[in-house]
Structure 1
């Protein structure tokens, strides 16, 4: 806070101790209001129904669909938001697991690489790349390194 005050005062003429005290009070009030407005949740929901998810604040929960693997998953958008799509984050290190999809799914890789194996081969997506997996597909999800990605499912009730 002292560096903020020094910067402000360096741009003002004739700052005496009274003005400096007022500046300090204003900075403290502004900082207090800023801290109060900082969301304590990775989600922000606007009055018009728009939802913002702060991905770097999402903590992955344990995914029970692959027992014995250290795989994290957290749904962030769903039916409770009035959506007909499900959205979430998933991530893990050096693991593979089989899955049959009863829904359409799009995966957007954020970190690492996502391997999707099928009978016809393996598709590998890296950061910024997208994989679409149609409903009814039987796959093996995995990574030999690490992966973190966003998944979008349709319809919303994917599990």
Structure 2
């Protein structure tokens, strides 16, 4: 699907044992964007002096940073819901509607998938089966759903 400022996105499918009622996982074999974090490493060549390569994070760093991003998205979505609740409450209690249209925006539905290795030897207190962590997002058909991307992770400047 593409490469961004600090994540690479690939197509995937999500199937949950119990389907959800909203957000991700409402349908079996749901198409999703599977994203994995990376860091850029300078790798200049003669043909491309500004070249770079992708370095993957260690499994614990990838897990920690992916969960942090998911937590921030969860809080942002909650704050957005509170904002719209306040707006709708204010409009209901106002004598007249606002003189402008209030846009309805939202964050993408997202989740986290964690991959573990199978334990093959003796288990100790320091044994970790953590292998990799993925950020899972809904796929949005821009033409069909009237999607418009306002900002991205590379810059806070509106697009």
TM-score above 0.5, yes or no: no
TM class, shorter-chain normalised? under 0.3
Q: TM-score, normalised by structure 1?
A: 0.22
Q: Considering fraction of residues, name the structure with more strand.
A: 1
